[in-house]
Amino acid sequence: MVADKDALRPIHRVTYAIDASDCIVDVGDDWAAFADENEGSDHLKPETVVGESLWRYIRGATLVELYKAIFAQVRRSGEAVDFRFRCDSPGFQRRMRMRVEPLNQGLLGFLSETLSVTPREAPLSAHAYDAGFGVLKRCSICNLFELSDGDWTDAVTAVQHDAVLDRQGRIQIVWTVCPHCRKELRAMADRAAL
């Protein structure tokens, strides 16, 4: 099933929930069909994933770190977050939208919608391969991320504003110190020197 890139109606909708420890506690009826269509095999069947840590199914330390920052912000703020991302399979390139919403007692609910599917000319037959990394700078002091326009912001705004999860290839977080924190550190050092 192929949809126009700009289509607003989702092709697939997959729902699931995690607990306060980020373990999968529920998957919707649509989970199994989506996993089967994307060569998920037995390790992604509902009876296999429920009770497992979500992090077991997310590849890459950088992506785990970014998602953890988003989840923490959703739990802290009590506000849902929506962002777009890519989720490719061997035969298809998929553009998706995810909604992460707070439930109760630290639980988070997820709705992932497939917005477009583009067949690959030559389906991939090998496991994922990194051709390169996009770079996302994160401040070691305040934990904010640098946007493409040079502003610094939280993880949610980074994925919404710069669509860092909607790019081809993986991203790599590079730790640095943002200009604001650098200025604060210099001021503290200057005061300590007096």
- Mean of the per-residue pLDDT values of the chain: 79
Each residue of 164-193: pLDDT tens digit? Answer: 666 666 677 888 878 887 887 677 556 555
pLDDT reported for residue 7: 45
pTM: 0.64
Query: Percent of the chain having pLDDT more than 90?
Result: 26
CB 173 within 8 A of CB 133: no
Domains of the chain: 12-193 (3.30.450.20)
* pLDDT at position 26 over 80: yes
pLDDT reported for residue 185: 65
Each residue of 49-105: pLDDT tens digit? Answer: 999 999 998 876 767 877 888 899 899 999 998 888 777 666 777 888 889 999 999
100-109, 136-145, 150-159: which has the highest mean pLDDT? 100-109
36-50, 74-88, 105-119, 122-136: which has the highest mean pLDDT? 105-119
Between CA 112 and CA 166, with CA 92 as vertex, the angle to 5 degrees is 50
* Strand positions, DSSP E, the chain: 12-18, 24-27, 81-86, 92-102, 108-119, 133-139, 145-146, 152-153, 170-176
Indicate if the alpha-carbon torsion angle 55, 96, 73, 108 is positive or negative: negative
